Amino acid sequence: MSNKPTVACPTCKKPMEWSPANPYRPFCCERCKLIDLGEWASEGHKIPGQPVFDDVMSEDLDPSKTRH
C-alpha cells in the first residue's frame, strides 16, 4: 500500500496518486491538462470579480497616448 495521497483529477475526476512521478499533477494526464487549459483560454473557467487592468499597460494599447 502506498503512503502517497490520492486526489481526483480536476477534469475527469479519475482518482490518481499525488506523486512526483506524475508530471501533470494535479491532472491525471496531458490530455486532461490541455482540456483544462482550453477551458481557461475560451473563458469557460473564470475568476469572479471585476477585470483589473494595469494603467501602464493600457496606455500602450491606446495610440493617442504614444510618447515620441
CA dihedral 24, 29, 32, 34 (to 10 degrees): 60
Residue with the larger pLDDT of the pair 31 and 58: 31
What is the spatial distance between Cα 26 and Cα 3, in angstroms, rounded to a whole number? Answer: 17
Q: What is the mean pLDDT of residues 46-67?
A: 66
- Mean pLDDT, all residues of the chain: 82
**Which one, of 58, 5, 7, lies nearest residue 28 by Cα?**
7
Domain extents in the chain: 6-65
**Which one, of 13, 7, 47, 46, lies nearest residue 25 by Cα?**
7
Q: List residues forming the annotated binding site for Zn(2+).
A: 9, 12, 28, 32
For domain 6-65, give the fold.
Erythroid Transcription Factor GATA-1; Chain A (3.30.50)
List pLDDT tens digits, range 3-36: 789 999 999 999 999 999 999 999 999 999 999 9
Q: List residues forming the annotated binding site.
A: 9, 12, 28, 32
Percent of the chain whose pLDDT exceeds 90 = 49
**pLDDT number for residue 46:** 82
Residue type, 18: W
pTM here?
Answer: 0.63
